């Protein structure tokens, strides 16, 4: 098990969680593509007792999942960052959105669910040209694996969209 922590983009909502880092998964479903506004979502299931909201109060949107069951999607009402999904009633398990985790570079997914809905170009992304920032300079090789030396995190620098 591994302790992680994270926050939404504006910082109003912060959390801590204890997760199994071998259970990180990618979800390619159409609903995750839309709600995350990107190609896929990275998440992990965490029990309620292993998830702690430290500050802020997420807004909740209840969707109807492909199964027909309602699903509560929690996000920051100020900055729009998706935080987790859970049952609107029991709330025993949370599907934590790991793009918000400070340790996200160490959390490598081990399975892809709803793979039939994956965007078709994803399998070719490794051969796509890589540039640093938005400048067009060649980028260094892909990020190192956990335990290897890596470049400092420059995530919060600059004016990227």
Q: Which of residues 49-108 bind Zn ion (CB under 5 A)?
A: 76, 78-79
Q: Specify the stretch interacting with Zn ion by CB under 5 A; choose among 21-29, 65-73, 89-97, 128-136.
A: 21-29
Q: How far is the CB of 145 from Zn ion (least distance, A)?
A: 26
Q: Specify the stretch interacting with Zn ion by CB under 5 A; choose among 10-18, 83-91, 92-100, 101-109.
A: 10-18
Q: Which is nearer to Zn ion, 68 or 138 (CB)?
A: 68
Q: Please report, for residues 36, 85, 123, 125, 137, the alpha-carbon distance to residue 129 in angstroms, rounded to integers and kept in the order given.
A: 24, 34, 14, 9, 11
Query: Tokens 């500050």 sit at which residue?
Result: 55
What distance in Å separates the CA atoms of residue 25 and residue 28, rounded to the nearest whole number? 10
Assess 32 for contact with Zn ion (CB under 5 A).
yes
Q: Which is nearer to Zn ion, 106 or 117 (CB)?
A: 117
Q: Which is nearer to Zn ion, 10 or 131 (CB)?
A: 10
Q: CB neighbours of 63 closer than 8 A, spacing ≥ 6?
A: 31, 35, 70, 71, 73
* Ordered alpha helix ranges (H), 5-150: 30-36
Write out the two tokens for 65.
Answer: 């999942």
- Contact positions toward Zn ion, by CB under 5 A? 8, 10, 12, 27, 29, 32, 76, 78-79
């Amino acid at each position: 098990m591994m302790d992680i922590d994270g926050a939404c983009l504006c910082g109003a909502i912060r959390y801590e969680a204890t997760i199994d880092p071998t259970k990180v998964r990618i979800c390619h479903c159409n609903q995750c593509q839309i709600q995350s506004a990107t190609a896929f979502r990275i998440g992990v299931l965490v029990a309620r007792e292993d998830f702690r909201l430290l500050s802020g109060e997420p807004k909740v949107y209840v969707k109807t999942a492909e199964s027909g069951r309602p699903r509560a999607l929690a996000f920051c009402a100020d900055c729009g960052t998706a935080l987790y999904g859970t049952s609107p009633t029991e709330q025993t398990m949370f599907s934590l959105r790991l793009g918000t985790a400070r340790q996200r570079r160490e959390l490598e997914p081990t399975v892809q669910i709803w793979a039939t809905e994956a965007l078709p170009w994803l399998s070719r992304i490794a051969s796509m040209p890589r540039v640093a920032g938005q400048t067009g300079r060649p980028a260094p090789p892909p990020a190192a694996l956990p335990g290897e030396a890596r470049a400092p995190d420059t995530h919060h620098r600059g004016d990227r969209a």
